[in-house]
Structure 1
Amino acid sequence: MAKKSCVSILCFLIIIFSAISVSAQTCDETAGNFKPDSPYAMNRRLINVTLASNVTVHDGNFYGWMGLDPDIVYAVGMCSPGAGPEACSQCIQDTSDSLLKSCPNQTDSFTWLGEEFLCLVHYSRKPFSGVLILEPSKVLYNSVDIEKENLKEFDSVWDELMSRTMTSLVRNNLSTPTSKYYENEIAPVPGYKNISVLMQCTPDVSSEDCKLCLEKSVDYYKTLHHGKRGGIVLRPSCFLRWELYTFSGVFDHIRMPPPSSPPLPSPPPSKTPFVVTNMPVKGKNFFTNLMLVLKIAESVQFDLKTIEAATSNFSASNKLGQGGFGEVYKGMLMNGTEVAVKRLSKTSRQGEVEFKNEVVVVAKLQHRNLVKLLGFSLQGEEKLLVYEFIPNKSLDYFLFDPKKRIQLDWTMRCNIIGGITRGILYLHQDSRLKIIHRDLKASNILLDSDMNPKIADFGMAKIFGMDQNVANTSRVVGTFGYMPPEYVTHGQFSIKSDVYSFGVLILEIISGKKNSSFYQMEGLVNNLVTYVWRLWENKSLHELIDPVIREESKRDEVIRYIHIGLLCVQENSAERPTMSRIHQMLTTSSITLDVPLPPGFLFRNGPQSNPLAQRLEPGEPTSMSFACSLDEATITDVSPR
């Protein structure tokens, strides 16, 4: 009777162990702690709000971050294959909530959770994407032993099954990367029915690191808990579970494996270039393709409710301005971070293209003279870009206002020109991408609290191959007056297109006048470039200088900057200097400047004075579409002609 009772209790314990879903919150006590009301705590709570939706949107796997140094919280959320969107979202939310409760003040923590499928949540103070993380680890095991008379043969089957599963997992991932390093196997074992095993790695680690992580877990379990009837080993980068019963729905349709598997092929050389492709953006395809692009960009997605709360539901009092693609609002996140939210117009057909383009381009750029993209939000018809907040608005706000312009002395204007130069140089040459901005103008130069410039609005930017020099388009967009002649008349653009725009900017910064303010001046068709060229021919460049610039001792330096501006706007793009050469000319006064040739769009009085007017002659057939403006606003609606 006692023997029968013990057997019943043993069965009961096994059933209880079987019914428990995997849930082991692991708090890294060695990584440091944070206070409950600290910015780190708020960032962790904030990313917890959006993590489930981010994982769902990114096909079951998302890595992102929230906040600014030194309080950035990095996070990953991942669901194993087979989890539907709703189930995955709920699992991530439950896992994340339980992790925040179990590890209330540890900066680093992780947990795996699930029965029918697995999901992982991992928070850290340090970035960890692509890094193999073995510790901290956690082991759960069945305390019931395998019978000694069966142990030797059991070990043989167990060892072969573990090796075969790891081999299959890595091989399948090499041939089908979407498998996400996930594998489950079953093997018959004498004295028992079957052994079931499930292995998974996070998809950011290499094949070698995945196999190493699982090997260590297998060895660790075999060393410490040899002879037990089941167990689980959890690490931040991999998961291992085996049982003497089918513990998950993933085994429902599995086939019995052959006795052995062929050897694992050597992985191909690791080559992972950053590639951005031009993908279709119409209709339903837009959202599917956008998700892929955002995944490439590794940008942070904000929940719409978070942005609505930050901007007081896009209240008029928080509106900062309006551009060609929509409105911009000031907001404040829960952690106190001020942001600028660009809300793309729901009716703008071009907005979808620019939204995708801006996220892809800006998310990969880091430079003090470029506006930093913090993240995005995409829910329903809402398309939102979240930027760092720049307190002093844009350059045109100061430069073209008679009263505010007084604040811009020559030292400050010189600093602004230098910062813009460094920002464009980074785009053209120093970043890992070669980027043509295509819409450089005063309203797209923002000024921080110290009046340092930051280039903004990359909606029309183009990514070039590192060896590519020129591209053509049948759709010309931008602001007329900043666009070079080869772009307006032939749709041809290059780094020299930005150089032309930069030259116009220099002349505007020195004169304090808009390029567009010179049209029809004194009865002549005119523009700023034409006006400055006439001053050059008359040797009276000093007339261009804004009276606010009173430093007589700097007059020669100002004239030199005007000279450089004229070199930038020459008609032939080959004659314009590169940004690296411009930077040298601006910073080294000993460099002798070339004599400028007549600029592009040198308007002369007469019926054929305007090349753009000739190009857009009414009734003239053309395959080119134009969308440009004569003022500072960017126009994005295509006007077929």
Structure 2
Amino acid sequence: MDCRFILPVAIVAVALFTPLAAGEPWQVCGEDFDFFTPNSRFFANLKLIASTLPRNASASPLLYATATNIGAAPDQVTAAALCRGDVTAASCLACLTQAFANLPNGCGSTRDAAIYYDRCMAAYSAVDFLSPDFVPPRNAEGYTVNNLGKVATETARYNRLVAALVDATADFAAYNSARRYASGEAEFSKEFPKVYSLAQCTPDLTPARCRSCLANIIATEIGTYKDSIGGRTMSLRCSFRIETSPFLNGTMMVRIPATAPPSGSPAAPAPPVNVSPPAATPEREMKYKVPRLVLIILLPILAAINLVVCFCVWRKKRPVTKAKQTDTNYYAEAEDDDSVDSMLMDISTLRAATGDFAESNKLGEGGFGAVYKGVLADGNEIAVKRLSKSSTQGVEELKNELALVAKLKHKNLVSLVGVCLEQQERLLVYEFLPNRSLDLTLFDTEKREKLEWEKRYRIINGIARGLQYLHEDSQLKVVHRDLKASNVLLDANMNPKISDFGLARIFGRDQTQAVTKRVVGTQSVTT
């Protein structure tokens, strides 16, 4: 079947099922470029990019991905995909998939095109427009779309407020965000209580280049925003937007307080003050109100005290079952949800940090899965424990480990950074310890020779302190049940940290022994 028939059908199908903002998409077609045919190598290279770039961008913590000089000359293609800094990975993927489906057809098969949606943008070209040395005219000039509505009152103050808000948001995007993205709001009037703003650059720009790009399109286009209730200016490397209605997700990063109206404007009436008139006969009123007030306050307090006393007596007389003394869920389940929610991480963030769990980043593998090294967008190094999908037993161990480590805090225990339970993945994210596990040092001839007795003593003492905390000093009484050299990790200064709590068990505060129905731990290891 002819590709020229398939592509329009696909575009229509996607458009029918994807909601669009009014007026989108906006397409910019390159001038002075040749056209490609459906059977050309250029189009084949473009389709290859379209099949991978949306997923790469949505999986990146920066929501941005590029492909440079794909294919052989003269049919090389360079492309970029960027999502708005506040959208989710799923929303980003959907938007970019639609963008690349529409992009080639919208400009009549020209070899240079860009398309802008409310949530994303995509662009491709036969030249490397991402090169720092390449500054095409369209990179400097913005494409502006203004709303039709106008502000009717206090227009001068409104225009000053818009200019100040755009500049402040641009500064934040360039100098305070890894995504080179910022959102803002400013208070204005009763008719338009708030004005909202957005500024964003492609994350590969330096702060200075980002601010320069924004300054250029702001200076060129801000005049078109005069009295307008909103609009957007888009370019390949940066963009900004103003609206009098909310359009962004999350908390605004920049806030500008309300400015006073001009002195000639009438002052707003003072809000009415709710003041009760004094009583005509205070002595008579006091004789009536005070006893009633005492009863109103005292009776609920007595009822509450009575309820608490009855509850305490009931609890004291009620027998505590042995099962609840030893059941892990009895201690952990009620509080785990809040602590887990606060540590949830996106799967896209962890895939980007670990190179999609690349083999080169694998640190080791245990009974329930592998551990990978990763680097977050802020530069922090992490270790990601990935539970094997084929392990049914490992699910319970991971839940147990998460419930425990989230509660346990000690310098000789590995710190939990986050958790991810998306896309059928079960991942625990820990601090990265560069000297890895103790067994790699003990059983390596060269490393073992460098482990003098002072370091050995410090390691032994640290492990003992960690166990002391688990057994006696923590809010939970925990028995590790699988303590071995491979489960003791060493930081940069060779300080030990106990890890892997998948088999750990919580004891009651006065409990000294327990009966287990299955053998756990590592053979020849007793804890």
TM-score category of the 2 structures, normalised to the smaller one: 0.3 to 0.5
TM-score (structure 1 length as normaliser): 0.36
